[in-house]
Amino acid sequence: MKYITKYKSPNYNSRNKSKIQLIIIHYTALRNTKEAISYLCSKEKKVSAHYLISQDGVIYNLVNEKFRAWHAGQSFWQDIIDINSFSIGIELDYSPIGKNNKFSSKMISSLKKLIIKIKDKYKINKKKILAHSDIAPLRKKDPGKYFPWKLLENEKIIFKFQNITKNDTKIIEDWFNKYNITSKKRIIIFALSLIGYDTRQVYKNLKHYNRLISAYKSRYLSELTYASKETVYTNIIKHLFKNLLTKN
């Protein structure tokens, strides 16, 4: 793959021998690629990413993969609290309120190729290609509900967990009942915790719980204009079941 390498961000440090096992997808929320490069390469901003992809599908390599770019901020996934050390960060030139408010076909085409290259190079599990909102659901919304996750799922680039039957979900629910976990809210929180989400602050904070659910819906139910509580619950149970059965 060809990258533009003439722009380099000073905002990185050592991974301290941490193994790369995550790919995190962001959007810039800036007006264009030029502004994004300026922002990500500004020493004062203290923010960076390994890659930036323009609306035209041009890929800019801003930080060498061997270094720890500063893209994730305070975040969490499957007990990893220093996401930056374990991940590759990809920024997309997209803003929900700007003229660049579409995920162009050229952008997504380049993104797919880049994900496949990184995934194969570091043997990254398909379940560990994540949204910024997955690892920081209380703070972040990107890449947002319009990002074409289904396209990546259907092309087997990322994890897909459909085709779960009612009998399959009953196995999970029976297990919860066996241990007297009968509240759907408690089941949802526990399931999301097993999947990888940070649920430490949501048990007694309704606002945080709702943000967590919004992050999940944006990532996995964005195609539904309105997803009922029952739909969200069923989807999460299916997700957990497939997650436990699927190695990669």
Can you say how many angstroms the Cα of residue 174 is from the centroid of all Cα atoms in its chain? 30
Phi and psi torsions of 80, nearest 5° = -85, 120
Spatial separation of the C-alpha atoms in residues 206 and 226, rounded to whole Å: 20
Return the closest-CA partner of residue 123 out of 212, 19, 209, 196.
19
What 3-state class would DSSP assign to 68?
strand
Count of CA atoms in the C-beta half-sphere (13 A) of 8: 7
Nearest-angstrom CA–CA distance, 8 and 48: 9
Catalytic residue list: 91
